[in-house]
A and B are shown apart, each in its own frame.
Chain A
Amino acid sequence: MTGLIGPDEVRRVADAALSLPRADGVEVLFMHEWGGLTRFASSSIHQSTHREDTGIRVRVVSEGRIGVAASNDFSLEGARRAAESALEMATVVAPDALFPGLAPPVPTPEHHAFDEAAAETTPSERAESVAQLVEMCPEGFTAAGAYETLASEVAIANTDGQFCWAPSSQASVTTVVTGPDGGSGFAEVFAAGRDELDPAAVGKRAADKAVASRSPRDIDPGRYTVVLEPAAVSTLVGFLAWVGFGGRSLHEGRSCFSGKQGQQVAAPIVTIYDDALSEGTLGLPFDFEGVPRSRVDLIGDGVFLSGVYDLRTAKQAGTTTTGHALPPPNPEGPFPLNLFMAPGEAGLQDMIASTERGLLVTRFHYTNIVHPVESTITGMTRDGTFLIEDGEIAHPVKNLRFTQSIIEALQGTEMVGRDTELASEFFFSASRVPALKVSSFNFSGRSDH
């Protein structure tokens, strides 16, 4: 099987780009990724893949002008060609007045997130894990989903002397179990290490939900108290990051938090932060400019504290980088990839038991932005939505469309779960979040299943 290339060889190839003549500065972003994904549907394995790729992305600075070129030719010649192509582009553009310089040579934190077992997982091992999951389906129910093991190494080298390299791994299993009478349930787990996954437990959770969600009844749209499981909360947090936490949109007045620093924007029990170095997430110890990452408190006790920055937007906003650059060129600016919502004290059952009438939502589907400055989004419920009456689950309901301001939902948050999960959103990286109870959530339509 494939293995790590390692920092020495990466540095040797990167040097072929860094030594580009006629450039004032050069930065090389190196990425190597390999892994397999076993995809299943109708309780059979129908698409299984393995892929390996290396990539180098070269940013060249010439008289304040910037050009970028990328290639998956990881060789001395490939690195040279990419650097020359980037320089060619730099020569035709105007200087970037906000160019902040390349990342300075500073050490980056030690961060061990590489699991040999995940990196070396065989197709048979993935298939066996899928079989364990599928076996949890009761008679008449089938499972669909994916079991993936990935390994990667990322490095940044620049002509100012910064060099950083880090390996990482990821293992995940996600499934939707479906059955008769519209039963549908969902579960997933993400981890850095393969042994942290329990496919049978994931299968059982989804299967139990699918059994419980059979024969859903119609319910009128309208405002309901909601108990949102972590997968649903990850949608709110992911989209809040998209419309709110980027330093560039904050500075330019496009963020829902522009001009709100120090203001109460959520209930005091809501705290959101980004921390790539935490063991509870899947993160790199440096960003894609080679700047060390550290924890950034975004919302503390309901007060908006800060956004995230890269070198350029930090210069634009008159602050310092927080280590949140994405790969260049990146017109959207910095983004938090390792979000957390701090846990509270409530259990999921506490939230249900305290709800006179409301809805329990397993997860949302295909969410999109309606009004970015108001943080309003729309999407559907999916794979298990239930009516709560008098503190108990009454019955499953058909899927509903919501159209809701995220900030308003966080302002109306009454309870925060004590357990957190690393949960993915359709479009974004996974966030570690608890369940939430929100006093009022707007459901604007319904579907037929």
Chain B
Amino acid sequence: MNIIVCIKQVPNTTDVKIDPVTNTLIRDGVESVINPFDTYAIEEGVRLKERFGGKVTVVTMGPPQAENALKEAISLGCDEGILVSDRKFAGSDTWATSYTLSMAIKKIGAFDIVICGKQASDGDTAQVGPGISTHLNIPQVTYVKKVEDIKDNKAKVERMMEEGYDIVETPIPCLFTVVKEINSPRLPSLKGMMRAKSAKITKWTADDIKADPKSIGLDGSPTRVVKIFTPPPRKGGEMLKGETADIAREIVELLKDVVI
């Protein structure tokens, strides 16, 4: 089974600060890590390989230093890493990013499953996974919390809902975005780390993946960021004091005003 995992390198959210003037992330000096949601995608890819055999290829679009994220993925059990990197990709929104990744996946060739984290911790859009499947014209199941089985060219998965879950059967090839409930990612192994150290990361430019210049980077991105702002802090709730019975009566009155 050929499995492709798409990942993103993001600033480590535990120490992210917001520039109070521009309202954007201060990225200088912030350590880059694999998007936490993507670590579940990597783990699931490796587990599917262990269950069904095959190979896991991990792909990212990003600056040259994103190579580190790919090497980390290899230390966690992925077989091969592909870095799609080109200055022409700068300014990509989710549309251009998912187009770019889909072109890279087409270049990889035959595949059975594409796995993405449900969203990135920096942008939080949850659009790239579904975008890739649309560009590839394959079925997608988002918020997958369990892969029950894959056989006879069909995959049966559990899709997390607010209350409970759906069981979805889909033909393969298909794309999953996964939630953190799906597994608990392993730590790297020493042999994996050594394999990662000597692993050769494949690097592809916009030309290599035959990307349409009008569909990538800023030009290929219909999204315009109009304004970024920090939402005002929420006001504290109203505290009622007194005897319990009085408070209960007061709450009923308040609820009448607010809700009804």
A binds B: no
Residues on B close to A: CB < 8 A? none
